Amino acid sequence: MSFSWLTCSLLLGTLCAGYSLGEAETRECVYYNDNWRTERTNQSGFERCEGEKDKRLHCYSSWLNSSGTIKLVKKGCWLDDFNCYDRQECVSMEENPQVFFCCCEGNYCNERFTHLPDLIGIGNRVKIRPPPRVPSLLNVLVYSLLPLCVLSLALVLALWMYRHRKPPYGHVDLSEDPGLTPPSPSVGLKPLQLLEIKARGRFGCVWKAQLMSEYVAVKVFPVQDKQSWINERDIFLTPGMRHENLLRYIAAEKHGSNLETELWLITEFHERGSLTDHLKGNTVSWGDLCHIAETMSRGLAYLHEDIPSYKGEGPKPTIAHRDFKSKNVMVRDDLSAIIGDFGLAVRFEPGKPPGDTHGQVGTRRYMAPEVLEGAINFQRDSFLRIDMYAMGLVLWELVSRCTVTDVGEYMLPFEEEIGQHPTLEDLQDVVVHKKMRPAIKDCWLKHPGLNQMCETIEECWDHDAEARLSAGCVEERIGQISRTTSSTTSDSPVSIVTSLTNEDLPPKESST
């Protein structure tokens, strides 16, 4: 046995030596962009390749072949892809692709590109394969010790895959098999490369992906959730939906056929993830709390607003989110909040029916009392007030992680009262019948800013829906609280400052 392992070690050493000879370091690639005018880039030249440490870099080419006429689409650098390993020439192996694609290793290896499909001999057709590059002596060693070494390499590969594919966010259910990586086709002839799963939700999983030089998020819906994909795509395509505190839409695509169909929604990507993820791993200062809360309420206020035609676009209708929660709020690097996940959102356009306004939808924990007891008035304002109840719970999550008071472990709303997996009956009993809300600690009320923030929270989750604040009023209040306390409030647990009076705050207003 020791002899076998020694022999395998020698073989692995030989393989490594062969690899070091075969792998060509890629630092620069030939660059070309047929769509350079629209994308405002250079048309051709050279591209310096940059990537993450310990990952390999490659060059690529993509082109079209229309009846024998070759039209070059793009050339440039490509991220670590095992399909490109040890390829010194750029060769496309697919039979009849819509867009030809090849990748290789070595500086400027994509200057020339060819199509060499792996054809199976039928009649006059012959099987064409690229010539082997491995030395004959190495072949002998590989075949003689193949079983033992394959097992060893499989274990190493399994460990590598686990470390690189493990979803880093806390809310991902690791017990679920993420499945095989879907293919990475093109978005408008731009190569799109899926990298790793970042999250799982009710309607599918979210991948981090590379679209040219930009990281993007790809939300993958199974075909049975087609209606949610259509709804979210249509919400994103609504006129006026571009706002700094709403998630930026890029594209929607359909892949595969029949039962294997997948529906993709491509948006901007944020490395920090959701507000849930951020609060699980981090506390927030008073300044951070105000910034996140103000930008979050600004995004929801804009979503709720009815805006006339602007800059050539049609009028933006009022939109109710209907699944507002901390998991559906993304966080930028500067801690600005961005609202996303519009799969359950509904538009209220004048003269048109609002579509599916089934009452009891959303995430159970964040459901307003009237939703839990099925007593919704199916009017525009009623749905906006449901969003505001959930906004109060998210603001409570923020306050619970603020460093100006004693900070405990992150907990979801009602987790302390009824646990992590409450039933509908549990919430109906606590929220509707007992009229309970997440606990507001006495120490929070001793801080002048948090005291006013807690008053705002209580007015957001008021049991009487018509008494709740509007998102615009919350934005205005938080801005005023932040400005009034910024010069006098420290992030220490004890801060003796004159509290704001109720008259200092913007008054309640209708959530219309």
Instruction: Please indicate whether residue 177 is annotated as part of the active site.
Output: no
In a domain, 137, yes or no: no
| CATH number of the domain to which 98 belongs | 2.10.60.10
Q: Is 399 in the same domain as 474?
A: yes
Which among 296, 294, 344 is positioned nearest to 319, based on CA atoms? 344
- Phi/psi at 497 (nearest 5 deg)? -140, 150
Which among 465, 449, 365 is positioned nearest to 403, based on CA atoms? 449
Q: In what order do the strands lie in the sheet with 58-66?
A: 44-48, 28-33, 69-78, 58-66, 100-104
In a domain, 212, yes or no: yes
In a domain, 32, yes or no: yes
Distance of CA 507 to the CA centre of its chain: 36
pLDDT digits over 213-261, tens only?
A: 789 999 999 888 888 899 999 999 999 999 999 999 999 988 877 777 8
Q: Is 340 in the same domain as 400?
A: yes
The bridge status of strand 329-331 relative to strand 337-339 is antiparallel
pLDDT digits over 311-358, tens only?
A: 677 889 999 999 999 999 999 999 999 999 998 999 998 777 666 655
User: Got the DSSP string for 454-501?
Assistant: HHHHHHHS-SSGGGSPPHHHHHHHHHHHHHHHTTT--SSS----PPPP
Compute the CA torsion angle 22, 28, 29, 34 (nearest 10 deg).
160
In a domain, 259, yes or no: yes
Q: Report the 3 state secondary structure along 117-130.
A: CCCCCCCCCCCCCC
Q: Which residues, at least 6 apart from 172, have a Cβ–Cβ distance to it below 8 Å?
A: 197, 198, 199, 200
How confident is the model at residue 163, as a pLDDT? 54
In this predicted structure, which of 56-70, 93-107, 485-499 has the lowest mean pLDDT?
A: 485-499
Report how far residue 108's alpha carbon sits from residue 111's, in angstroms, rounded to the nearest whole number.
6
How confident is the model at residue 136, as a pLDDT? 54
Which among 69, 62, 108, 103 is positioned nearest to 86, based on CA atoms? 103
Q: Could you say which of 68, 86, 114 is where a domain stops?
A: 114
Q: Is 327 in the same domain as 240?
A: no
In a domain, 299, yes or no: yes
Question: From the CB of residue 423, how many other CB atoms can be counted at a distance below 10 Å?
Answer: 11
- pLDDT band, very low/low/confident/very high, at 416 (cuts 50, 70, 90): very high
Q: Is 410 in the same domain as 482?
A: yes
How confident is the model at residue 329, as a pLDDT? 97
Q: Report the 3 state secondary structure along 13-67.
A: HHHHHHHHHHCCCCCEEEEEECCHHHHCCCCEEEEECCCCCCCCCEEEEEEEEEC
In this predicted structure, which of 22-36, 310-324, 406-420 has the lowest mean pLDDT?
A: 22-36
Q: Could you say which of 224, 250, 269 is where a domain stops?
A: 269
- Phi/psi at 245 (nearest 5 deg)? -110, 20
The total domain count for the chain is 3
Find the catalytic residue in 323, 341, 381, 387. Answer: 323
In a domain, 122, yes or no: no
Q: Is 299 in the same domain as 436?
A: yes
| CATH number of the domain to which 238 belongs | 3.30.200.20
- pLDDT band, very low/low/confident/very high, at 126 (cuts 50, 70, 90): very low
Q: Could you say which of 114, 138, 167 is where a domain stops?
A: 114
Inter-CA distances, 494 with 31, 98, 195, 443, Å: 59, 65, 46, 9
What average pLDDT score do residues 99-106 get?
A: 89
Q: Is 50 in the same domain as 75?
A: yes
Domain that holds residue 370: 274-352+359-488
Q: Is 106 in the same domain as 242?
A: no
Alpha-carbon Rg of the chain, whole angstroms? 28
- Judge whether 194 and 262 are in contact, CB under 8 Å: no
Q: Is 369 in the same domain as 413?
A: yes
Q: Is 427 in the same domain as 331?
A: yes
| CATH number of the domain to which 408 belongs | 1.10.510.10
In a domain, 130, yes or no: no
Residue recorded with tokens 């020339």:
112
